[in-house]
Structure 1
């Protein structure tokens, strides 16, 4: 086979450039369809819903026999409209998994040893590269700020508010500045045009800063304060049905849990897929992984779950350079006020998944900002010197994509203003195009390693021994060779869908079970071999294993001659089968 005809070459030829660019919906759809059409034996594309603007909510499933239930992982991205790089990373993970199935010896960049590659190939990957296609399209085409989705279903809309619009005719809706003696922004001398918060030592001129657009219900005098949800009322990451709270307790919550079609489609699909053991929710920016719980301190968390998160956090920092932090201890925007209705909390608490958020793009570290005690304080403690460093980095390493020159225009409501300023899309909300390939590679390497943690139920031994004439004892040993237990995360063990293993024996060909009522019996959950980091069993004081907690030995007495099929599993793990001869059968 010529090199250009190899499966890997065919895969490379299908790329639409997502590792170096941010795709619109048409290009993203074309990429997914190209994979599904070219590799139908391992790739399945389905729409789990449609947005109000008519765009499909795509989920791509990767792995042979996609209908065969087995442990799987979920990756989603671009729930917040401006956070486009998550889609590129999700697509990169998908591409690497496809490559793994095509030629597991030459997967570049993922750094998996051979035995882990074999494990990961039996994990089903579910990838939703863009949760908010309507929002992403608005951001890509106009540059305007959209938190999640470009729609507003509020009935109370009589108040004055900002509506982002293109004022100067350049096709973008960025920022406006207007000179005002009471302005709270000032230009810095080092970078003309760069606005920073004003101090008492700054001489005039001073400016007020607004989104480029118009004021709805403007009375000719009163200018409302801009708000990040001024004309888009919902934050999709506050609309999930775990610990949901309505407005005003939680901004952007939506009318009710899963009121938004994007969220409802995800929840319905995931609820019908109980086999998800890990869940990656991709956002930007910051360069950090955020883990549950978001509402209580770590001392109220399962010690096993915490130990597993420590292990994932160690890999995360080694492979990506990003730390993993507690959502409660380092990522509350307001002390004592947890975020309600968040996806990662729902995936952990109600779906039992090893879930976490990744805030891609470690911009603050690139600017040399010292890490605060609480990671979330990075966002509110952006100093003047940090703005100057950002402008310098933008000019030197990002081709000036963030800071646009100001242009004087006549605003129909505010009079003389200047339009331009910050374009968040490339370099601020998302990494530069030049930085994107390395970020994709590192994040994929981590996710494939996390996928290798799922439980693996195997029938390790089958014995058939005669007891007496025409009577046989059938012994089956079932084991979990995976890192995680069959129930996944400890706190989720009692969730209704977190079914323990059951064993079924089907006899045919003339043999029957001697004891009635034993053809369907409970196996229970099996522990995994993994203990995370900091588990008491690995303590220096008394290191010890878990005994036989990873296995069960099952016995049946069978009368006659024929075959017996043993089927063991659950709705979460899928099932394994062994067929054996009884009394000389098979």
Structure 2
């Protein structure tokens, strides 16, 4: 059944997202299955889609791959990418060879939106929040300035107030741009910059920023090097304390076929890999090489550099990020996966950042001028709201203006979505196709006279990764060895060999990616039996690799 082209015109609300999923399920019932894996804090269903051809086997009996988006409420570009991937895989099945192979031979688990409550508030009100609508770390709002759309334009921007002690001034090159006042500068017109909002319990003198009312951060709520709120803002009460992250964890525990993942965030235009808390020498050397190789593939397909969070994506040498999803999934399961920070307004405007995070704190005026030029020429000026005078009920005369943070800075303007989605989809497909895949290479049944037969089974791993996925998974013993069993028909008995046995693991091609040293058929192995049975009897061989799939073959004498 044909479905309409993907709608790039806007970001989907929860109702639209659920409707989209059900439309796809109705149109492609043989390729997609929907389920609710839990409920959010506000009791919204958390929907997950399982994508695979049901004609080619059960989902759990194929190598698995995980995709999610919108962990953070305001990062709705992530859910757009995920929904596009669903649309692309379903509509291109039997059209695109890579997509067809993926859905025939693998299972893709897709969670379009984790922060279902927070994203809904973000999309339908002027407010911004991190992940959940649950009040945290305080049950009630605290004193100080809190964000509010005080002029009723549907946006929460910035306020600038004239102040002799202010640290900012108007750039002479463009009056919209605010630049830092020089350390030794006096005698000009200076400003204090504040978020647009109101002050709770204002005493007429002091202005401080109120603590975030909805400060939970799902991406600080995973067990990897988790620390409490005093050390890591947004951490939650304990690992997996939130129903949203706990629903993920329970699903993962019930689906041991997963090998890798992609989780979509904004912004930065960069592909991030673990660790957040440790330098690269914390990796098994083999895994670091594979991470770098897959990252290079991602760079070639998306244009995004792949970097370590610890080395290249933190703003202070003594601070690290605790409790991140990507760290947990690699360190606990041994999955190879990436956090993709989608979109970046400065990069799109032609700004070359020397550092992904520190640029936000300090950068040259020339970068701001490039951004304004891009806003004027490419966005028809809609990205920056000019400063307008406003009589603040508490602070008096102020001006309100600044970047339209939600629609330009935190998320991609919708006209940029098609190219963004297409590139990211290609990387996700490529990465998923690197999973291990068990196959039967040969079965040889030799008659030795009478009712005696010799059966040789040769198994092979056709995937790039080994059947144990990674060295980390091997060390953690996260993956069971391949299990081979023999089902004997009526009148058939086993003379020698084991009816059920474990045969270890098979390598893939990954251990040959950095060396031309011959390694033999380490991606193949044989299992043998001597069987007694009469002509016309039947046996079945079943081989199960937890993360590389299950294969079966019936053999007649």
Matched, 1:353 2:335: yes
User: For each residue in 1:535-575, what CA deviation from the matched residue of structure 2 results, as whole angstroms up to 9, or x when unmatched?
Assistant: 2xx2xxxx223212111110111122322111101332331
CA apart distance, 1:523 = 1.3
Aligned partner of 1:556 among 511, 526, 529: 529
Give the superposed CA RMSD: 2.2
TM-score by length of 1: 0.88
Matched, 1:134 2:117: yes
331 and 256 in structure 1: CA distance in 2 versus 1, 3 angstrom threshold: same
Query: Which residue in 1 is equivalent to 2:385?
Result: 404
385 and 143 in structure 1: CA distance in 2 versus 1, 3 angstrom threshold: farther
136 and 48 in structure 1: CA distance in 2 versus 1, 3 angstrom threshold: same
For the 8 Å contact 1:120–1:452, the answer to whether it is kept is no
User: For each residue in 1:160-206, what CA deviation from the matched residue of structure 2 results, as whole angstroms up to 9, or x when unmatched?
Assistant: 23332221223333322222222222222333333333334486432
Q: What pairs up with 1:407-446 in 2 under 5 angstroms?
A: 407-446=388-427
Query: Which residue in 2 is equivalent to 1:4?
Result: none
Matched, 1:260 2:242: yes
Query: Which residue in 2 is equivalent to 1:328?
Result: 310
141 and 263 in structure 1: CA distance in 2 versus 1, 3 angstrom threshold: same
Aligned partner of 1:184 among 167, 171, 177: 167
Aligned partner of 1:39 among 25, 28, 46: 28
For the 8 Å contact 1:20–1:437, the answer to whether it is kept is no
Query: Which residue in 1 is equivalent to 2:555?
Result: 580
Matched, 1:463 2:444: yes
CA apart distance, 1:14 = 6.0
- Distance in 1, matches of 2:343 and 2:406, equals 12
158 and 89 in structure 1: CA distance in 2 versus 1, 3 angstrom threshold: closer
For the 8 Å contact 1:210–1:226, the answer to whether it is kept is no
- Distance in 2, matches of 1:198 and 1:141, equals 37
CA apart distance, 1:91 = 1.4
104 and 225 in structure 1: CA distance in 2 versus 1, 3 angstrom threshold: same
Runs of 4+ in 1 over 6 A off after TM superposition: none
For the 8 Å contact 1:279–1:353, the answer to whether it is kept is yes
Aligned partner of 1:216 among 170, 181, 200: 200
Aligned partner of 1:249 among 231, 243, 252: 231
Query: Which residue in 2 is equivalent to 1:447?
Result: 428
Matched, 1:146 2:129: yes
CA apart distance, 1:343 = 0.5
Aligned partner of 1:98 among 90, 96, 103: 90
Q: What pairs up with 1:4-23 in 2 under 5 angstroms?
A: 7=1, 10-11=2-3, 13=4, 15=6, 17=7, 19-23=8-12
- Distance in 2, matches of 1:167 and 1:515, equals 82
SS of the aligned residue for 2:424 comes to: helix
5+ unaligned residues in a row in structure 1: which ranges?
1-6, 106-111
SS of the aligned residue for 2:408 comes to: coil
CA apart distance, 1:271 = 1.8
SS of the aligned residue for 1:448 comes to: helix
Query: Which residue in 2 is equivalent to 1:225?
Result: 209
SS of the aligned residue for 2:113 comes to: coil
5+ unaligned residues in a row in structure 2: which ranges?
none
- Which segment drifts farther, 288-297 or 29-38? 288-297
Matched, 1:566 2:541: yes
- Distance in 2, matches of 1:46 and 1:511, equals 42
For the 8 Å contact 2:136–2:213, the answer to whether it is kept is no
Total equivalences in the alignment: 551
Query: Which residue in 2 is equivalent to 1:295?
Result: 277
- Distance in 2, matches of 1:369 and 1:126, equals 36
User: For each residue in 1:258-282, what CA deviation from the matched residue of structure 2 results, as whole angstroms up to 9, or x when unmatched?
Assistant: 1112111111112211111111111
- Distance in 2, matches of 1:532 and 1:93, equals 31
SS of the aligned residue for 1:83 comes to: coil
Aligned partner of 2:40 among 41, 51, 61: 51
- Distance in 2, matches of 1:14 and 1:397, equals 25
For the 8 Å contact 2:60–2:107, the answer to whether it is kept is no
User: For each residue in 1:45-71, what CA deviation from the matched residue of structure 2 results, as whole angstroms up to 9, or x when unmatched?
Assistant: 222222223432221111122544211
20 and 488 in structure 1: CA distance in 2 versus 1, 3 angstrom threshold: farther
- Which segment drifts farther, 276-285 or 135-144? 135-144
Query: Which residue in 2 is equivalent to 1:3?
Result: none
- Distance in 2, matches of 1:305 and 1:97, equals 29
- Distance in 1, matches of 2:512 and 2:176, equals 50
CA apart distance, 1:507 = 0.3
- Distance in 2, matches of 1:153 and 1:364, equals 32
SS of the aligned residue for 2:333 comes to: coil
307 and 362 in structure 1: CA distance in 2 versus 1, 3 angstrom threshold: same
Aligned partner of 1:318 among 300, 303, 309: 300
284 and 207 in structure 1: CA distance in 2 versus 1, 3 angstrom threshold: same
Q: What pairs up with 1:483-562 in 2 under 5 angstroms?
A: 483-515=464-496, 518-531=498-511, 535=514, 538=515, 543-561=516-534, 562=537
33 and 104 in structure 1: CA distance in 2 versus 1, 3 angstrom threshold: same
- Distance in 1, matches of 2:381 and 2:123, equals 17
For the 8 Å contact 2:33–2:49, the answer to whether it is kept is yes
